[in-house]
Structure 1
Amino acid sequence: MSRGGSSLRGADAALLRALEEVRARCDVEARKAADPVHFVHRYAERDDQELVAMIASALAFGNVKALCAKIEEALSRLGPRVAEVADDPAAVRARLAGFRHRVYRDEDLARLLIGARRVQRAHGSLGKALTDKLDALGDLREALGAWVAEIREKGELGAGAGGRRGATHILPDPGKGSAVKRILLLLRWMARPADGVDLGLWDVPTSRLIIPVDTHIHKLSRNLGLTARTSADFRAAEEITAALARLDPEDPVKYDFSLCHLGMLQTCPSKRDPVACEGCGVKPVCRHWRRGAR
């Protein structure tokens, strides 16, 4: 239960009860096995975990089975010690030659990995690189922008043009207004306390995290009244996070994993549908099922 749960009243109290129930009912081990975060748990060394998390989150879009197959392929090509391979740009390119996942190709992933490894070595860890920027800039979005820019820059060093956008292509700019779901997903994995899903490796306060918004989270959030925005953009992510922070200001994104997987399993119709909505954990607080809703 959230720290402020006992003082909540009305709609917020009902929402908290529903979200805690969804979280309690989530089969964490089964859902983790179907989530790209499970790749990170395979590795024991921190450097490898950071780089694998970067790869897995960067490729985490589209059909979950297809994207997990592509992550598996990339990691198989790179071998068991990703950080060691990443120290040799020529080896990275050779191993990833011919790789493709939707709009991304081998050179895009290679430059991302090479840049991330160079930043990791320069700062001691990718997490330290981010917290240094957060300490200097104060604002998480600005810090993420500077962090992304450094990874992009170091990924392009010595790469040549090659007609590809490299790390610039595969790692989005948080300053441009999109939800940057994959970056915020990476941040959740690495900054939230180790709970069997997230790993607790970075010293970013959980109170400052922003929820990664994909189609499932956006749809559920609109139905729960957490945002009215029709676009799944960064402002929507901020609105949803602010609403969840009323329930738990210290860890507002803790509901992300269970809600996202509820959305994947339930295939929410975003309307009152007795068949499709049967068994949905947030049905009691959904706008389509509140008293008077049609």
Structure 2
Amino acid sequence: MNDSELKDFLNSKVDFYNQPSFIASDPVSVPHQFSRQQDIEIAGFFAAIFAWGNRTTIINKSNELMQLMDMDPYGFIQHHGKKDLKKLERFKHRTFNSTDLLYCVEFFKMHYAKNNSLESAFTRGMQQTDITVENGLKGFYDYFFSLPYVPERTKKHIATPEKKSSCKRLNMFLRWMVRSDDKAVDFGIWKKIAPSQLIIPIDVHVARVARQLRLLQTDKTNWDTALELTAYLRTLDAADPVKYDFALFGTGVMEKPGYP
């Protein structure tokens, strides 16, 4: 395919997958159960952080946590007592256990005591002139682990560009919170980060399809890879490059090999 054909192909896949029908089988379905912004943020954060492995399991474990929080995550964060926290001690998703969960709850309680939205946790390290959210992700990592006691094991669950991670899960969370269009898969409830600043959430599926389409020149999948792919996608749509996550991820997960 030439550049024009490739753009048409990717745009057609965006149109196909960026639909309300996409929601039910994706972790984004978890925050879609809520209407209050803070509930969406908290549910979305956990669904994104849990997003590795089987999607059905990710959704089920995220919903299990929401039920442990009485389907009121913001209320739980604000008003929980020792008895409420005790319920969380049996929670586990792969290598994420109750130690990690209780730290997240403590962080959210601290943050929401002073802020109405989680957006400020990601913008505290950013400047309006930043081309990408890289500084926002670095700032979030430092802020997230700024409490007096931090379990060392919990640090592996929150990525940062400082460690050359692709930051796939946090970039996916940011896509959910920042992007806005008439398809209503992404929420678009954050306004201080521009869609143009987002970085593609690159996982094995996205990377495989991108390489098959010759959008990537490296075999590695790290932060530099995410930047490289996003830079190309920005040539297709400078204002909303990460919309192509729908095309690359959808094609990689839901279609058999053999597409153009």
**Of the candidates 82, 96, 103, which is equivalent to residue 104 of structure 1?**
96
2:49 matches 1:49:
no
Q: Match of 2:145?
A: 152
Q: Distance in 1 between matches of 2:84 and 2:244?
A: 36
Q: Match of 1:201?
A: 189
Q: Which has the larger radius of gyration?
A: 1
2:16 matches 1:25:
yes
2:172 matches 1:185:
yes
Per-residue displacement from partner, 1:145-186 (whole Å, max 9, x unpaired)? 1112212223xx467x6xx623x2321223100101001000
Q: Which runs of 4+ in 1 moved over 4 A?
A: none
Q: In the superposition, relative to structure 1, how do residues 215 and 267 fare at CA in structure 2: closer, same or farther (>3 Å)?
A: farther
Per-residue displacement from partner, 1:92-136 (whole Å, max 9, x unpaired)? 532211111111111212212321342233233111232232138
Asked if structure 2 preserves the Cα contact closer than 8 Å seen for 1:212 and 1:237, the reply is: yes
Q: Distance in 2 between matches of 1:89 and 1:219?
A: 46
The amino acid of 2:23's aligned partner reads K
Q: In the superposition, relative to structure 1, how do residues 213 and 220 fare at CA in structure 2: closer, same or farther (>3 Å)?
A: same
The amino acid of 2:189's aligned partner reads L
2:63 matches 1:72:
yes
Shifted more, 12-21 versus 212-221: the winner is 12-21
CA RMSD of aligned residues (A): 2.1
Q: Distance in 1 between matches of 2:20 and 2:116?
A: 31
Q: Quote how far apart the aligned CAs of 1:267 are.
A: 4.2
Asked if structure 1 preserves the Cα contact closer than 8 Å seen for 2:205 and 2:252, the reply is: yes
Q: Match of 2:255?
A: 266
SS of 1:101's equivalent? coil
**Of the candidates 216, 219, 223, which is equivalent to residue 230 of structure 1?**
219
Q: Match of 2:127?
A: 135
**Of the candidates 228, 231, 238, which is equivalent to residue 249 of structure 1?**
238
Structure 2 residue runs of 5 or longer lacking an equivalent are: none
Q: Distance in 2 between matches of 1:215 and 1:89?
A: 40
Q: Distance in 1 between matches of 2:84 and 2:124?
A: 28
Q: Quote how far apart the aligned CAs of 1:207 are.
A: 0.9
